[in-house]
Structure formats: structure tokens, C-alpha cells
Structure 1
Amino acid sequence: MLVGIEGTHASGKTTLVHALTAHYRERGVLVDCTDEPARTSSFIEETVIHGKGVFDLPTEVDLYAAQLSATLRGARHHHLLICDKTVVNVFAYARMVLPASPGSHEAAVLDAMAGFCRAWAPATYDAVFYLPDRYQHPADPMRAKVSHLQEQTADAVRDTCADIGLPLVDVPAGLDVAARVAWIARRVDPLLTPPTG
């Protein structure tokens, strides 16, 4: 089973992903989670932290490929995989930050990403939960440099998921981590089936 956790920057995705993973491990489910590729990307570190370079096509293709690869590899050997965002999120962000004039190489790659997302994502993710909250993390240098994009990113993720055909389940706003875990678990538990083979 594949569960995605979506939302904008600093909405609490990573914290929730790890809390959900711990929740299911304590219950004996063979579970793992994916990390957010941007946190370990040398491309993103160079651009966001060190101010060298820009969000370019190689950066976005690297993040897209890393998100997809982590999802495929994690799901291969676990009964439940909880994803720190979806590949559609990575595509939404690429579409938002890349200058892609009609007929350009960038536009062609974005079209290819969109086609793949439409063919793969709706049939692959069993549930995708959207976090509406916004948090501030001034001590996090990566988030601090992109916090001004929160609203734009939220709109881009929602619009792109709708365009791709990936339904989102809205988590109520204002819940703490434990309440979020309980709320999502009540919806995931009925979907879990015993592993076969």
C-alpha cells in the first residue's frame, strides 16, 4: 500500500511521515517511508543554501527521478510505504519554477513528466493526504529561503494533482501531530490487507 503526504513548504509533511511510520511499526506492520529528495540534493543545496545557480532543468529532473526511484524501491519490500510528498508534487514545483516557453526543451520535458504522472500516479497511490497548515521554521536555512513560496506552492500542488487526476484527502487544519496520525490511521487501517505470498 502506498500513502502520500502532501502540502506546501513547512506544512509538517516530514514530521507526520515519521510519526505515521513509527505508529505502524509499533503495530507490527512492515512499513517504511521515503525522505524528501530535496533535503539531500546537491543541486538544491548549491542553489538554496549557497546561492549558486538556479532551479534549472537538471535540478528538477534529478528531484523527479529521485522521488520516483525512492517510491519504487521502498514499496518493493514493504507492506506499507508512506511517502514524503508524491512525484506529482515534484512535477508541480518544476512546472512552477522552470521557465518553459512553448516549444522549448524544458516544455517538452515538463510535458513528458505530466504524461507519466497521469499514467502512473492515480493508479499507484492508494491514498494521498493533504496538510493545509503553514508553519514557520526560522532555524531551518533551506525552508527560510523558500517560505515566501508557501501559498504559490500550495496552489501549484492542488492544481497539478487535480490536473493529473490524483485525488487529495484534506486533513483538518489545526491538528497536532498525534491527532493527525490518529485521523489518518482511521482512514488507512481499513485499506490495509494482509500481505500475500
Structure 2
Amino acid sequence: MSVRDCLVVGIEGTHAAGKTTVVHALTAHYRERGVLADCTAEPARTSPFIEETVIHGKGAFDLACEVDLFAAQLSTTLRAARHHQLLICDKTVANVLAYARMVLTYAPDSPDAAVLDAMAEFCRTWAPATYDVVFFLPDRFDHPADPMRAKVAHLQVKTAEAVRVTCAEVGLPLIAVPAGQDTSGRVAWIARRVDPLLRDATG
């Protein structure tokens, strides 16, 4: 397997697509069945950079913020995978790259552009070998209660397309979950596709 013999599943989608809800529900589903499963939180939810910009309206998204999120996405995945059979990730590192490209303003030959190019090259090498399967949630829920999501809800369509394009660019296939399902339906649909991979991983 990709990380310390742990099956790594990514859950992707735009803002307020229900990613975090599905991640926790899917983790509970497998724990109830005796699988040693864990999940990663979305680093943006605890980022002091994001809180400062989105919640308090101070400053703007910059390269330091995006590099911090990129590193946190990598670190949380690697640390959580160490002692588990199954890890379910709230977003992938390609999502961070997609969003960074979308929100940052930079010249093509600038240092910022060079850093983003390096992040893209890292994603091309690391992501396909790390995530065993990635599911994309196509639904969007309007007027999210989460203040961080509410502030960026207007970027939903743009973000969804950016994530799809970036995942394709770095060689990370997405499996689209059928739209219009409730959480239990989404979990059941995803689990039917994860179960065979988990059986193969655990023998």
C-alpha cells in the first residue's frame, strides 16, 4: 500500500459539498465494522492564516498561507496513516494546489509562480502513489452554517472546476459520487467501492 500499509481514500469536492460530513460518517461506518480507521481534518479549518483572512478580514491569501496549508495536508496524512488500516482524507493535496492557483495573483516568472510549479511537480509524483482512490462529491449546499464556508460559498463553481482540472493534471483520477444522495446513501455508495480495496489490502 501507499503509506505504511494503510489504504488512503480521498474525499474531494468544492466548498460546502459535504466533504467533512461524509469523511466522519465513512470513518464511523468502518470503525463500527472493526476496521482500524481514522480520518484527517481539513487543515484550513484550524489554520491561523485562514482564520485571520476569512473570519477577521485581515490581509489576503498569500503564498505563506498556501504553503502552510500544503505542508499541513501532507503532514496530517502521513501522521494519521502510520498505525491504521484505512485513512479517509478530507481533501487531497491537489485541492490545496488548485485553490492556491485560484486565489493568488502572481506573474508567470515570479518566485510565487516557481513555488506553485514546484508544488505541482510534487503533486504529480506524490499524489497518484499515495491516494489509493479519490471520490468527488458533486453536490453543493447553499448557505452553509460554517462561517469559513459561508464566506467563500460564491467560489463553489470555480473551485469545483479548479479541483477537477488540477487532479487530472497531476494524474489523480476522481470517481464521481452520484448527486442527490443523503449522507447514508453517499457512505453506502463509497463503501461498496472501498470494500474490495480494503480486502485486498488486508488479505
TMscore range, shorter length: over 0.9
> Is 2:193 the partner of 1:187?
yes
State how far apart, in whole Å, the 2-side matches of 1:101 and 1:46 are: 25
Q: TM-score, normalised by structure 1?
A: 0.97
> Is 2:55 the partner of 1:49?
yes
Q: How far does the alpha carbon of each residue in 1:146-171 deviate from its partner, in whole angstroms, 9 at most, with x for none?
A: 00000000010000001111000000
**Structure 2 equivalent of residue 30 of structure 1:** 36
State how far apart, in whole Å, the 2-side matches of 1:137 and 1:37 are: 22
Which one of the candidate residues 140, 148, 151 is aligned to 2:154? Answer: 148
Structure 2: stretches of 5+ with no match in the other structure:
1-6
Which one of the candidate residues 63, 78, 84 is aligned to 2:84? Answer: 78
**Structure 2 equivalent of residue 68 of structure 1:** 74
State how far apart, in whole Å, the 2-side matches of 1:195 and 1:127 are: 16
Q: Which amino acid aligns with 1:10?
A: A
> Is 2:128 the partner of 1:122?
yes
**Structure 1 equivalent of residue 110 of structure 2:** 104
State how far apart, in whole Å, the 1-side matches of 2:36 and 2:158 are: 36
State how far apart, in whole Å, the 2-side matches of 1:121 and 1:139 are: 31
State how far apart, in whole Å, the 2-side matches of 1:130 and 1:60 are: 22
**Structure 2 equivalent of residue 9 of structure 1:** 15
**Structure 2 equivalent of residue 59 of structure 1:** 65
**Structure 2 equivalent of residue 166 of structure 1:** 172
State how far apart, in whole Å, the 2-side matches of 1:139 and 1:22 are: 23
What RMSD, in angstroms, separates the aligned Cα atoms of the two structures? 1.0
Q: Measure how far apart 1:195 and its partner are.
A: 4.1
Q: How many residues align?
A: 196
Deviates more, 1:137-146 or 1:181-190: 137-146
**Aligned-pair identity (%):** 77
State how far apart, in whole Å, the 2-side matches of 1:101 and 1:120 are: 26
Secondary structure of 1:192's aligned partner: helix
